[in-house]
Amino acid sequence: MTTINAANAGTYAFDDQFKVNRMGYGVMQLTGPGTWGPYADPENGVKVVKKALEYGVNFFDTADSYGPWFADRYLAAGLKDAANRDQIFISDKVGQTRQGPNVWTPLGEPRYLRQQVEVSMMTLGIDHEDLVFLHRIDPHYSIADQVGELKKLQDEGKIKHIGLSQVTVDQIKEAQQVAKIDAIENLYNVANHGDDDVVDYAASQKMAFLPWFPLATGELAQAGSVLSTMAQKYQVSPAQIALAWLLKRSDNIIPIPGTSSIEHLRDNVAAANVDLTTADFNGLSQLSVK
């Protein structure tokens, strides 16, 4: 019987000491409607995090703006008693403010970014951040000022790795003049991969690439989705096909599908067992909406 384990997707090395399993978990859905306020069933949220650990997930993606901070609380509670806590990698994001449901406003003021890192560490119960993304580049401040503040925090030992979210190749190159960039997180999935150039550049620079919206918030996971025929061929779910495509696309990709359902979590992690043929991968790649 095939095991359900994130390790089946292979690993990605952030440094000489830390390798993560390439099937991660994002906690964005452990919030209220519009990614605002508390999740309706906090106990279940904690259970989902713990179940992800059981399935071999050791890469968790979060952001202070999820709630704000509510998802961080459930993540911290779920990881608190983990036997392998020192082997768990958390990617965090700062630089977005929230004024209500579905409202996201970038703020790259350096002092604000520093505050968010400090508060996030307290909320998560950690003494340093494994990876911090600039959630969005705020056009009111230079990339040098925004990334530069994260570099200062890195120099102080509060951040190990720095990342950028929703950026172009040119913006990555500009940021690289300020600090070493180890990860990129952009919208990317089998039906929308206009950022192929970003994935390839990240791979060439030995940066991890985290695709957010990997299942288009469930649209690609539905029984009647464009992936249904391929799913029937492999006798798996459409969601597993979408995630398997990402895993095969490039070795630097770490999918971070989010869910508040243990059933869906199990299904997502099981995608690590799906090995698409080259012909099927190429066929799916034609679904791109650029």
Which residues form the catalytic set?
A: 66
Q: What is the β-pairing status of strands 129-134 and 103-106?
A: unpaired
193 CB contacts (<8 Å, ≥6 apart)? Answer: 199, 249, 285, 288, 290
Q: Which amino acid is at 175?
A: A
SS3 assignment, position 259: coil
CB 52 within 8 A of CB 60: yes
What value, to the nearest 5°, has the Cα angle with vertex 154 and ends 151 and 155? 90
Decide if 39 contacts 3 (C-beta within 8 A). no
Measured at the CA of 55, the angle between CA 225 and CA 196, to 5 degrees, comes to 45
Residue type for position 203: A
Point out which residues pair with 26 in neighbouring strands.
Answer: 61, 258
CB 181 within 8 A of CB 207: yes
The SS3 assignment for 132 reads strand
